[in-house]
Structure 1
Amino acid sequence: MSLCPWLIVHSIEYLGLNPTSIDSVVVGKDSEVKMKAGQKLHIVNQLYPYTVQFKEDTTGGHGGNKTPREMASEERESHREALSVKAAKQTENTSVPDSLGENIKNTESFAPWSQGLKTSMQDPKMQVYKDDKVVVIKDKYPKARYHWLVLPWQTISSLKALREEHCDLVKHMHQVAEQMVQQCPDATSLRFRTGYHAIPSMSQVHLHVISQDFDSPSLKNKKHWNSFTTDYFMDSQDVIQMLETDGKVTVKEGTSELLKLPLRCHICRKELPTIPALKEHLKSHLPR
């Protein structure tokens, strides 16, 4: 198995929580270790072994003015997104205990990196609001000036795991989202939307509350844009109605293809050729 593209650099820096090792040498947290082709990288207590294969650098250096670390960061994010649809579609019939000790049917299997939300929601430094049912955190990679996530304490893998009995919880999530908008200092000048990604990349159902300026350096590619401006983004009220009517949330076949649509302004529907061109165009819609 070849290593994912972000490891084309000849060193690896351990940033996460899970133990990592190269061959039999453990890499300490925040340590950077040189690697050679053919060595084995073991991730998460040696559960995921990878054999390193470096590919030729076709950029003529380190990608222009970008540092190796910046390139690695961008490549990691792109690789994570490329895996997200595949990870979300994989299913398995397992039961996992929720926060109350009850067993809930888990209908989806996510890659190990996708468990990050479960860690963030427990971190007091990440929390901006919480009650006995939900917690609100700031998105680590906000795609707009204001971008929050509303998560239930109860373990629910994704939209597909929601059922009629979750109606009250989902309505409460929507109410909390509205409260977040109301307390926002720019609530009168910016529009907001609340909704869910039809095919999430992260485990644990989460409601996005996002301002429609999309003024953020973290919005970098077509997948980012289309995940919030097409039907890939399912409105919170529509999800509530599905649960009340059908007792479940239905994701249309072919929804993942929406991420490949051309870049179009979500306000005037003008088509733009690139993300930089789109961002420049969006400035014309910002409040003056």
Structure 2
Amino acid sequence: MKLQPGQVLYMVNELYPYIVEFEEEAKSSGLGAHRKRKRSGNSNSLGDVAQEAEPMTEQEPGTADPSQYPLPPKKGKDASAKKEPLGHWSQGLKISMQDPKMQVYKDEQVVVIKDKYPKARYHWLVLPWASISSLKAVTSEHLELLKHMHTVGEKVISDFAGCSKLRFRLGYHAIPSMSHVHLHVISQDFDSPCLKNKKHWNSFNTEYFLESKAIIKMVQEAGRVTVEDGTSELLKLPLRCHECQQLLPSIPQLKEHLRKHWIK
């Protein structure tokens, strides 16, 4: 693409580093389209070319590992509170919680939405309107909010699955992939085509899934949420039935096995 003087090129996706190369367009006015490098000695020497290049105020694209390219600087006093742009995949919840089609309940403090990729027949997310990036950002000031989120989760179960005999759990992922703290309200049938791999299963059926009441107690006693080191390794554990503890070799076999535990 061509840029005219005064135009600004914006990079809107911060998921991957960019390498941008600029080339001066040749002019036909005879003023000289390209600067010629002065060479001495061995013209094939890379060292000579590097020495003769004009100084640059920024690192020349393509001369370093792209993974070392910094993202735009974070603003504000607390850099850790900086959120990814709404276009980033991890910000999907912030978009969904504003979508009336996704909402099943809302009040002044929270909104409940259907999980876009449910891992069971019933799977909702309770999200606070207040901007809280993750459990790491939770403090004792959020205690009443956490209690309210739990109460709302139980209300949704009563309102939408009251006639069901299914068992439910309310809790948080220790290390969530999506930004904005959210409480999972999920039935224990795990009957869903969206449950596809070991990571999905273990995120709800190991200690990676933190019970809502346990989080409330932790904040009440310590004023914050602590996640143990090595928690991410729980996602790699063998597949084990959450009802009878039988080990299964694959997700398809696990799903077939789970049918035995479904309430008729």
TM over 0.5: yes
Letter in 2 for 1:258: L
Partner of 1:45: 12
Partner of 1:117: 93
Cα-to-partner distance string for 1:193-250 (whole Å, 9 max, x where unaligned): 0000000000000000000000000000000000000000000000000000000000
Partner of 1:146: 122
Asked if 1:165 corresponds to 2:141, the answer is yes
Partner of 1:241: 217
**Structure 1 stretches of at least 4 aligned residues deviating more than 3 Å after TM superposition:** 42-51, 92-96, 104-111, 185-188
Partner of 1:9: none
Instruction: Using the TM superposition, give the Cα deviation of residue 125 of structure 1 relative to its aligned residue in structure 2, in angstroms.
Output: 1.2
**How has the CA–CA distance of structure 1 residues 240 and 221 changed in structure 2, closer, same or farther, with 3 Å as cutoff?**
same
Q: Distance in 2 between matches of 1:154 and 1:218?
A: 29
2:229 to 232, 245, 253: 253
**How has the CA–CA distance of structure 1 residues 46 and 213 changed in structure 2, closer, same or farther, with 3 Å as cutoff?**
closer
Cα-to-partner distance string for 1:17-43 (whole Å, 9 max, x where unaligned): xxxxxxx49xxxxxxxxxxxxxxxx99
Q: Is the 8 A contact 1:133 1:152 kept in 2?
A: yes
TM-score (normalised: structure 2): 0.71
Query: Quick check: which one's strand share is greater?
Result: 1
Residues 70-149 of structure 1: pairs in structure 2 closer than 5 A: 95=76, 106-107=80-81, 112-149=88-125
TM-score (normalised: structure 1): 0.65
Structure 1: which 5+ residue stretches go unaligned? 1-23, 26-41, 52-91, 97-103
In our comparison, the structure showing a higher alpha carbon Rg is: 2
Asked if 1:194 corresponds to 2:170, the answer is yes
Instruction: Using the TM superposition, give the Cα deviation of residue 50 of structure 1 relative to its aligned residue in structure 2, in angstroms.
Output: 6.1
Q: Distance in 1 between matches of 2:154 and 2:216?
A: 15
Partner of 1:156: 132
Letter in 1 for 2:175: I
Letter in 1 for 2:213: Q
Partner of 2:187: 211
Instruction: Using the TM superposition, give the Cα deviation of residue 186 of structure 1 relative to its aligned residue in structure 2, in angstroms.
Output: 5.5
Q: Distance in 2 between matches of 1:175 and 1:116?
A: 24
Q: Is the 8 A contact 1:148 1:208 kept in 2?
A: yes
Q: Secondary structure at the match of 2:152?
A: helix
**How has the CA–CA distance of structure 1 residues 108 and 216 changed in structure 2, closer, same or farther, with 3 Å as cutoff?**
farther
Structure 2: which 5+ residue stretches go unaligned? 3-8, 20-72
Partner of 2:61: none
Letter in 2 for 1:197: H
Letter in 2 for 1:182: S
Q: Is the 8 A contact 1:181 1:187 kept in 2?
A: no
